[in-house]
């Protein structure tokens, strides 16, 4: 019995994606629930899993664009035992020949190889392939391109330099000496670029700044961290304080908790806060739901869960939708100050930055305090300067005096 492996639906707005990676080889035995492939779309990266035990036959190469619902492989159900025992016909001498001796025909190369062939003007048929049955791989094309670039740009390189016997090491070595490489934008990166340009071109974006003394929050964390960890099983971080402070400020300045739909103002009366997460594939903004009803521990658990999903590439489309306000923390990378870009259709985003000990004036004395610069970017079409400044002051007050978050003042 053959079972088709299809691209699952991922949301109404997603029609296709790039089959970025196969986790299994052609002809391999698979188990039900095993991850088979990685699909990259313009919004998320998701995994496809096996629905039964058996032997898989791949129908689509890595790098190919596939439509939702398309068949990318078949699983011969119950054939795993046969594959594992190696019950196969003897291979002919031609089949056991060195892969490099079998050239790839134009029809056998993957979309990624064809794309590189167009960009580099290198004919795949002239390259000795290292893939299955001598197929030219993306790595082979990159190696050929880098080797050609190296010969052209570094003619005086000593001929006695020993070459690596490891093909992968050779590719890395060649890439490291190239002056430039070319690669197409991934769907996710292309979507990020589109949204950033949209935010710049379609909003009247302005940024206002303030600074906040982190002494009170830092002291609270130091005083209660052990008890908090023992009670809730998770550490207390800074972000949960800023999430609660954002909810507090949104209540005080509701203009920031709105969006523009044509000529209509949509006033949000809920508090789902997006927190920007940096991943290997680009920036994502998963949404923390109902932050007004959650305590610090619940918010910390949600943040930890999203961080784990981001590392594993398992953030779903539903995780990214519905936020009314965004917080981004460039401070974890050492940023001192920035002007964050809006996350449409939201009209406000808060930028956190690095905490540094700086001299400040307190009661006529110069003292050292852990200070952080804050930046609020907002859509001036909906939010006036007074409202933006007030909002940022409310954030500052809540962080410098966390008791306000408990008292709601």
Q: Find the CATH number of the domain harbouring 403.
A: 3.30.559.10
**324 and 198 share one domain:** yes
> In the prediction, which pLDDT does 87 show?
42
Above 90 in pLDDT, residue 354?
yes
For tokens 């439509």, the residue is 67
Domain presence at residue 94: no
Domain presence at residue 92: no
Taking alpha carbons only, the member of 236, 355, 242 closest to residue 291 is 242
Domain that holds residue 203: 188-407
Domain final residue pick, 58, 85, 112: 85
> In the prediction, which pLDDT does 109 show?
64
For residue range 284-298, what is the model confidence (pLDDT) as tens digits?
889 999 999 999 999
Choice between 386 and 176, residue whose per-residue pLDDT is larger: 386
Active-site annotation holder among 232, 318, 380, 401: 380
**222 and 158 share one domain:** no
d(CA 112, CA 141) in angstroms, rounded, equals 9
Which of the residue ranges 100-104, 118-122, 197-201, 276-280 would you say has the lowest mean pLDDT?
Answer: 100-104
**11 and 47 share one domain:** yes
**64 and 110 share one domain:** no
Domain presence at residue 168: yes
**75 and 215 share one domain:** no
For residue range 14-33, what is the model confidence (pLDDT) as tens digits?
777 888 889 999 889 999 88
> In the prediction, which pLDDT does 380 show?
96
| DSSP helix/strand/coil, 219 | helix
Query: Residues of the chain with pLDDT > 70: what percent?
Result: 80
Domain presence at residue 93: no
Choice between 269 and 178, residue whose per-residue pLDDT is larger: 269
Domain presence at residue 182: no
Above 80 in pLDDT, residue 161?
no
Domain presence at residue 30: yes
**322 and 351 share one domain:** yes
Beta bridge partners of 205: 379
Domain final residue pick, 85, 117, 149: 85
Taking each helix axis as running N to C, give the angle between helix 296-312 and helix 215-232, from 0 to 180 degrees, rounded to the nearest 10: 80
> In the prediction, which pLDDT does 96 show?
38
Judge contact between 286 and 312, C-beta under 8 A.
Answer: no
For residue range 45-91, what is the model confidence (pLDDT) as tens digits?
778 888 889 999 999 898 788 888 889 999 988 765 444 444 444 44
> In the prediction, which pLDDT does 69 show?
87
23 as an active site residue: the answer is no
Q: Which two tokens stand for residue 399?
A: 């962080």
Domain presence at residue 133: yes
Which CATH number belongs to the domain containing residue 30 in this structure? 2.40.50.100
Phi, psi of 356 (to 5 degrees): -135, 140
**224 and 345 share one domain:** yes
Four-point Cα dihedral 60, 281, 172, 27, nearest 10 = -30
**369 and 307 share one domain:** yes
**139 and 116 share one domain:** yes
Q: How far is CA 84 from CA 2, 28, 96, 133, in A?
A: 18, 8, 20, 21
> In the prediction, which pLDDT does 45 show?
74
248 as an active site residue: the answer is no
Q: Where is 166: in which H helix or E strand?
A: none
Active-site annotation holder among 87, 219, 384, 401: 384
Domain final residue pick, 33, 52, 85: 85
pTM: 0.64
**161 and 274 share one domain:** no
d(CA 181, CA 87) in angstroms, rounded, equals 44
Mean pLDDT value of segment 343-369:
95
* 287 CB burial (10 A radius; 0-12, 13-18, 19+): buried
For residue range 298-347, what is the model confidence (pLDDT) as tens digits?
999 999 999 888 877 778 778 888 899 999 999 989 999 999 999 889 99
Domain count, the chain: 3
**216 and 245 share one domain:** yes
**22 and 140 share one domain:** no
Domain presence at residue 160: yes
Angle CA(392)–CA(396)–CA(400) in degrees, nearest 5? 175
């Amino acid at each position: 019995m053959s079972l088709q492996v299809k691209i699952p639906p991922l949301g109404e707005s997603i029609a296709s994606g790039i089959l970025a990676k196969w986790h299994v080889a052609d002809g391999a035995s698979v188990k039900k629930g095993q991850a088979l492939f990685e699909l990259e779309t313009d919004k998320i990266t998701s995994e496809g899993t096996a629905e039964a035990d058996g032997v898989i036959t791949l129908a689509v190469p890595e790098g190919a664009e596939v439509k939702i619902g398309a068949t990318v492989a078949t699983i011969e159900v119950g054939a795993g035992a046969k594959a594992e025992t190696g019950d196969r016909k003897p291979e002919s001498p031609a089949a056991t020949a060195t892969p490099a001796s079998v050239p790839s025909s134009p029809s056998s190369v993957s979309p990624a190889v064809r794309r590189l062939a167009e960009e580099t003007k290198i004919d795949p048929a002239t390259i000795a392939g290292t893939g299955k049955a001598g197929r030219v791989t993306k790595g082979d094309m990159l190696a050929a391109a880098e080797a050609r670039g190296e010969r052209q740009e570094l003619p005086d390189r000593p001929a006695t330099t020993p070459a690596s016997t490891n093909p992968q090491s050779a590719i890395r070595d060649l890439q490291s000496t190239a002056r430039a490489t070319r690669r197409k934008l991934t769907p996710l990166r292309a979507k990020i670029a589109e949204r950033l340009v949209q935010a710049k071109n379609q909003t009247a974006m302005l940024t206002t700044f303030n600074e906040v003394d982190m002494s009170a929050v830092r002291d609270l964390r130091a005083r209660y961290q052990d008890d908090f960890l023992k009670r809730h099983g998770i550490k207390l971080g800074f972000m949960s304080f800023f999430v609660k402070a954002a909810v507090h400020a949104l209540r005080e300045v509701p203009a920031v908790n709105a969006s523009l739909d044509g000529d209509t103002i949509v006033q949000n009366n809920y508090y789902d806060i997006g927190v920007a997460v940096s991943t290997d594939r680009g920036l994502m903004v998963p949404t923390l739901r109902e932050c007004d009803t959650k305590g610090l521990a619940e918010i910390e658990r949600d943040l930890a869960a999203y961080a784990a999903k981001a590392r594993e590439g398992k953030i779903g489309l539903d995780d990214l939708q519905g936020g009314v306000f965004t917080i981004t923390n460039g401070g974890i990378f050492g940023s001192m100050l920035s002007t964050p870009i809006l996350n449409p259709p939201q009209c406000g985003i808060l930028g956190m930055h690095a905490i540094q000990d700086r001299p400040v004036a307190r009661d006529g004395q110069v003292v050292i305090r852990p200070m952080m610069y804050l930046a609020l970017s907002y859509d001036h079409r909906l939010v006036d300067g007074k409202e933006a400044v007030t909002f940022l002051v409310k954030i500052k007050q809540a962080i410098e005096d966390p008791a306000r978050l408990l008292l709601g003042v």
